[in-house]
Amino acid sequence: MRRSRCYLGAVALLLALAAVLTGRGRLAAAAHIERQLPEQRRLVAALQLTDLALWSEARYTRHPAMTDLFSPFQDHPGAMEHFPAGALFAPRWHTPETAIGIRRRDAEAR
Amino acid sequence: MHRVKILEYALAALLRRPGKSAAILTAYTLLVTVLCSVLLLTHALKTEAEQLLAEGPELVVQQTLAGRHDLIPERTAATIAAIPGVASVTPRIWGYYYDSLTKANYTLLAADPAASPLELVAGRLPENEGECAVGMGVAAARRIGVNDDLILIDAANVGTIFTVTGVFKAESRLFTEDLVVVPGEALRRFFAIPAGMATDLAVRVHNPGEIETIAAKVKRQLPATRPITRNDLLRTYRAVFDWRGGMMLALFASALLAFCILAWDKATGLNAGERREIGILKAVGWDTGDVLMLKFWEGLALSLLAFLLGYTLAFAMVFHWGVPVLGDVLRGWSVIFPDLHPVPHVDLYQMATLAFLTIVPFVASTVIPAWRAATSDPDEVMRQ
């Protein structure tokens, strides 16, 4: 019976872990709705935002709902990008190693 | 007790083939992890988008020219405001700016300074010419903060200096990451937008039940416009983040295909050793029901463990470890992309469906071939 006890113990442990994670997640989501969401919504209303700032790579991804009707993703919901480039080229990230700081002369006075 | 003994035997049978069992458990766990993380992430982002954008404008009216988005005359606002049920019409000025220094795209947006103070802005929104507020992504890309200068090149190819008066806080990153908020007239001059024109019109409607009717009236009275309702916005996000959406589909399809191959491989039959084992069990007195129960527990033991491990891993990856791997897939070509820390909105029904769709086919693919062998004559099975 040793193996079955170990197995059932492991399953019970994982089940408890999954339940705790899910329960804590739901509590966190409820706390977010109560505390942070109202202020986030106030900002969305004040700036009249229409989209999430997730993808800034192209206008049809930055504002999926606002873009021209013939853009990719707008032909029909969930449409894939037309262009093979999207599948062939790996994304590249430009993170400059150096930066040039430019200040106005009166900046120090401020 | 009888079932526990069969489970004990099933576990012993799995441990007699440790390599095969470990390989199946690993592949199965990885599959569940990928599927679960895709579903958890897309559901969390979809829920967050729906909750946030519920406060966006009820209706956005765009001008179209030759099938493309064009600037809209501000006088159109009066025509729309005259439609019964419309509360207010506000011209919006916004646009995109490619920053060659950081090779990133920013969204420049005019804001009403009357909206200040906002808790989610460290500092304040711009009130005067030459001021701006920026998202955390822009601040990080340009390495600037409050009271620093942001220099952007305007439509006349002249550098324009904006003093940063505010940086949007981390809690708003999901919708302000690439924003540069500038006073209206300053932005009009920056983009050289002619006086009396706007990018689009934001329409507030008294009764949400009338939005579709007002959109239809706008389209009828101003045929060259495209009214976009808040429902359209929400529907777009539902579609983008849906199971069938974009890259997620590719991940989901490949993972599902791999699982189908695994299940099909198991379902096509037992190997000679497994057949002989079933024959011996039947010869020593096990009946068909016991053999099927044994195979059922073998399948369930593996798939239950794999599902629980996969779900726990996926949950930790999406909600605690900042979405590794999947976040990069989601990021695509975006230079400015918010750190993903989605609010853990979990759809238990979705998870139950996934458990059903992964556990049941695997258990069935273990039991069905065993059933074929278990109903045959033990002598015949052992001789094969």
Q: What is the pLDDT of residues A47-74, one digit of tens each?
A: 989 888 888 877 777 887 777 766 655 4
Chain A and chain B share a number of CB contacts under 8 A equal to 232
Same domain, A40 and A84: no
User: What is the CA angle B77-B79-B83, rounded to 5?
Assistant: 110
The DSSP code sequence of A27-67 is HHHHHHHHHTHHHHHHHHHHHT--S-SS--SSHHHHSTTTS
Is the predicted pLDDT of residue A38 greater than 60, yes or no? yes
Local structure of A23: helix, strand or coil: helix
Count of residues making up chain A: 110
The predicted pLDDT at position A86 comes to: 46
The residue behind tokens 């966190």 is A28
Chain A residue with Cα closest to B4? A4
Across the interface, whether the CB atoms of B315 and A22 are under 8 A apart is answered yes
Q: Where are the alpha helices (DSSP H) in B54-93?
A: 76-81
Nearest one of A12, A93, A26, A53 to B344, comparing CA atoms? A26
Q: Which of B11, B15, B333, B346 to substitute to test the interface with A, most A CBs within 10 Å?
A: B333
pLDDT, position B250: 65
Q: What is the pLDDT averaged over residues A18-40? A: 93
Any domain includes A22: yes
How far is residue B219 CA from its own chain's centroid? 32
Query: Quick one: A30 and A55 in the same domain?
Result: no
Please tell me the predicted confidence (pLDDT) of residue A108.
Answer: 58
Which one is predicted more confidently, A61 or A43?
Answer: A43
Q: State whether A60 and A70 are in the same domain.
A: yes
**Best mutation target, B121, B175, B305, B354, to test chain A (most A CBs within 10 A):** B175
Smallest CA–CA distance, residue A23 to chain B, in Å, is 10
A3 lies in the same domain as A44: yes
User: Alpha-carbon distance B284 to B282, whole Å?
Assistant: 5
Regarding whether A64 and A33 lie in a shared domain, the answer is: no
| pLDDT score at A94 | 54
Residues A1 and A37 grouped into a single domain: yes
Please list, in sequence order, all residues whose beta carbon lies within 8 angstroms of the beta carbon of residue B91, skipping any fewer than 6 positions away: B72, B74, B77, B198, B199, B200, B201, B202
Q: How far apart are CA B281 and CA B290, in angstroms?
A: 9
Question: Using a CB-CB distance cutoff of 8 angstroms, which residues of chain B are in contact with residue A62?
Answer: 96, 105, 107, 178
As a whole number of angstroms, the distance between CA B381 and CA B384 comes to: 5
Q: Which tokens sit at B146?
A: 């409050």
Structure confidence by residue, pLDDT tens digits, B111-134? 877 766 788 899 889 988 889 999
Whole-number Å distance between alpha carbons of B143 and B79: 45
Nearest to B110 by CA among B220, B199, B37, B204: B199
Residue B357 phi/psi, 5° resolution?
Answer: -75, -20
For residue A59, the model assigns a pLDDT of 76
Same domain, A34 and A11: yes
Q: Residues near A98 by Cβ (< 8 Å), separated by ≥ 6?
A: none
For chain B, the residue count is: 384
A37 and A73 share a domain? no
Long-range contacts of A9-18 (CB under 8 A, 24+ apart): A10/B305, A11/B304, A11/B305, A11/B308, A14/B305, A14/B308, A14/B309, A14/B312, A15/B308, A17/B312, A18/B308, A18/B311, A18/B312, A18/B315
Distances in whole angstroms, Cα of residue B121 to Cα of each of A11, A56, B162: 46, 21, 17
In a domain, A27, yes or no: yes
B101 touches chain A (CB under 8 A): yes
Model confidence pLDDT, tens digit, residues B89-116: 999 999 999 998 888 899 999 987 776 6
Residue A110 lies in a domain: no
Do residues A15 and A57 both lie within one domain?
no
> What ranges make up the beta strands (E) of B260-384?
none
Q: What distance in Å separates the CA atoms of residue A88 and residue A27, rounded to the nearest whole number?
A: 42
pLDDT at res. A25: 92
- Alpha-carbon distance B384 to nearest alpha carbon in chain A (angstroms): 31
Structure tokens given for B361: 């086919």
Which residue is associated with the tokens 């491989």?
A: B265
Q: Considering its fold, how many domains does chain A have in total?
A: 2
Residue B326 pLDDT: 79
CA distance B179 to B22: 49
Q: Nearest-CA distance from B367 to chain A in Å?
A: 20
Q: Is residue A20 one of the residues assigned to a domain?
A: yes
Residues A41 and A11 in one domain: yes
Q: How far is CA B36 from CA B31, B41, B315, B320, B340, in A?
A: 8, 8, 8, 14, 17
pLDDT on residue B238: 77
pLDDT at B339: 85
Euclidean distance between CA atoms A40 and B172, whole angstroms? 6
| Closest partner CB to B120 (pick from A43, A78, A104) | A43
pLDDT at residue B61, as a whole number: 94
Same domain flag for A7 and A23: yes
- Calculate Rg over the CA atoms of chain B: 30
pLDDT at B187: 93
Q: Which residues of chain B have pLDDT under 50?
A: none
Range of the domain at A13: 1-49
Q: Does the ipTM exceed 0.85?
A: no
Cα gap A108→A15, rounded to integer Å: 60
Any domain includes A106: no
Exposure string for B12-38, b = 16+ CB within 10 A, e = fewer: ebbeeeeeebeebbeebbbbbbbbbbb
Domain assignment of residue A97, yes or no: no
Q: How many CB atoms lie within 10 A of CB B304?
A: 19
> Same domain, yes or no, for A32 and A65?
no
Mean pLDDT of chain B: 85
According to the model, what pLDDT value does residue A107 have? 56
Q: What residue of B is the nearest CA neighbor of A102?
A: B149
User: Which residues in chain A have Cβ-Cβ distances shorter than 8 Å to B119?
Assistant: 39, 42
